[in-house]
Amino acid sequence: MNVLNMLKAETMDVPSRSYIEDLLKADLWELGRRAYEIRTRLYGDLATFIPNMVLNYTNVCVVGCSFCAFYRPPRHPEAYAYSVEEAVKRVLAVDAKYGIRQVLIQGGVNPEIGIEYFEELFRAIKAKAPHIAIHALSPLEVEYLARRERATYREVLERLKAAGMESMPGGGGEILVDDVRKIIAPKKIDSDTWLRIMEEAHRAGIPSSATMMYGHVETPSDIAEHMYKIARLHAKTGGFMAFIAWNFEPGTSELGRKIPYPKTSATLLRMVAVARIVFNGLIPHIQAGWLTTGPETAQLALYFGADDFGGTLYEEKVLEWVRAEAPIDRKTDVVNIIRDAGFRPAERDNLYRIAAYY
């Protein structure tokens, strides 16, 4: 029987790996049609976004992932690390110019930066701009802080939450298959550690995003395994707010010399559609992911199951050369792109609650 005739019911049941892998091989247009049916039933013609800035507080990192063109080793002439004062100044300047609801705070694993830096930073932002939600740090950064402080993951997360961290991005997930991770990021935490830290965050009352970076050395089986693990954890904790798939961008990275061309837009549409079907009844929101494939593909992704466009990404540096090519400079740009695609734009907050309709 065609796998698309066996769509998962809207329950908390976790689909099997084989079911997910079969979906990944199904006809793209039929996948899109089924995913759009689910998306329309859940959200109608609504498409959300958040005015957001990205604070890449340092580019110093000792992990050295082969797919990353952003990081610099310690003492590199291009290395930087913002002081708390400089970081807060940047957040306030962007907020004054554009008006933001969220700051995404991520950087590298910098041996010179400990947990007190983040506690001071989060408290300073909340004191001066309490309306800005702090969406911060990845499981990789939390794992490093736990080792540095000789603390448990839960202790680190509770300290960060007390300082103002409200949610966690899904950075460092890439593909949650250790054979893949050993090739693209051999020094990075393994998949079980990433999942365990996410579970601790959810149990500490810190919701998060789940991400997936595709388009490098992974196979359809690896992608199915990744989605299965995400679905299984969410069924256990209910803590993932959204799923975000993004394309590996070669840039000047080490991995980019071996894989110089990114996957096409059609691959993103397939990932979005499969995610909507797989996570139906589980993870509520699927993001369109405009940064790596461009706003036009993100518009199409809204017809392939995505209900959230993402954010404005002011100040983002990790994929800065990609962002520079996209005509999204302010909130009105996002509103117009969503509207031009035939959807009703809605501004959301950090927890995906609607704040304003357009």
Can you tell me the mean pLDDT for 97-115?
Answer: 92
Length of the chain: 358
Single-letter code of the amino acid located at 119: E
Residue 249 pLDDT level (bands cut at 50, 70, 90): confident
Residue 1 pLDDT level (bands cut at 50, 70, 90): very low
On whether residue 161 sits in a domain, the answer given is yes
How many domains are contained in the chain?
1
Q: What is the pLDDT of residue 345?
A: 97
> Is residue 138 a known part of a binding site?
yes
* Sole residue written with tokens 């299965």: 228
> Is residue 61 a known part of a binding site?
yes
Q: What is the pTM of this model?
A: 0.91
Four-residue CA torsion sign, 63, 64, 66, 68: positive
For residue 327, count other CB atoms closer than 10 A to its CB: 9
Can you tell me the mean pLDDT for 271-296?
Answer: 91
Can you tell me the mean pLDDT for 165-190?
Answer: 92
On whether residue 63 sits in a domain, the answer given is yes
On whether residue 1 sits in a domain, the answer given is no
- Is the distance from CB of 273 to CB of 24 less than 8 angstroms? no
> Is residue 65 a known part of a binding site?
yes
pLDDT tens readout for residues 27-43: 999 999 999 999 999 99
On whether residue 2 sits in a domain, the answer given is no
On whether residue 240 sits in a domain, the answer given is yes
Classify residue 351 by its DSSP letter: T
Alpha-carbon distances, residue 173 vs 38, 140, 192, 243 (angstroms): 26, 9, 10, 11
> Is residue 67 a known part of a binding site?
yes
> Is residue 208 a known part of a binding site?
no
β-pairing verdict for 240-247 and 208-214: parallel
Can you tell me the mean pLDDT for 270-289?
Answer: 96
Q: Where are the beta strands (DSSP E) in the chain?
A: 46-50, 52-55, 102-105, 133-136, 165-167, 208-214, 240-247, 285-286, 308-311, 344-348, 354-357
Q: What is the pLDDT of residue 326?
A: 53
Task: Please check the confidence at residue 185 and state whether its pLDDT lies above 90.
Answer: no
Q: What is the pLDDT of residue 138?
A: 93
For residue 258, count other CB atoms closer than 10 A to its CB: 12
**Which phi and psi angles does 117 have, rounded to 5°?**
-60, -50
Task: Please check the confidence at residue 130 and state whether its pLDDT lies above 50.
Answer: yes
pLDDT tens readout for residues 215-235: 888 999 999 999 999 999 999
On whether residue 3 sits in a domain, the answer given is no
**Beta bridge partners of residue 47, listed in sequence order:** 345
> Is residue 240 a known part of a binding site?
no
Q: What is the pLDDT of residue 9?
A: 58
Q: Average pLDDT over the chain, rounded to whole? A: 90
Can you tell me the mean pLDDT for 325-329?
Answer: 58
Q: What is the pLDDT of residue 67?
A: 63
Burial of 80 (0-12, 13-18, 19+ CB in 10 A): middle
Going by C-beta distance under 8 Å and a sequence separation of 6 or more, which residues neighbour residue 251?
A: 69, 319, 321, 322
At CB < 8 A and 24+ separation, what contacts does 162-166 make?
A: 162/119, 163/118, 163/119, 163/120, 163/122, 163/123, 164/122, 164/123, 164/125, 164/126, 164/134, 165/118, 165/122, 165/134, 165/136, 165/137, 165/206, 166/133, 166/134, 166/135, 166/206, 166/350, 166/351
**Which phi and psi angles does 120 have, rounded to 5°?**
-65, -40
Query: Which of the pair, 116 or 331, is modelled with greater confidence?
Result: 116
On whether residue 208 sits in a domain, the answer given is yes
Task: Please check the confidence at residue 255 and state whether its pLDDT lies above 80.
Answer: no
What CATH number corresponds to the domain at position 234?
3.20.20.70
- Residue 192: which domain range? 9-357
Task: Please check the confidence at residue 317 and state whether its pLDDT lies above 80.
Answer: no
Residue 12 pLDDT level (bands cut at 50, 70, 90): low
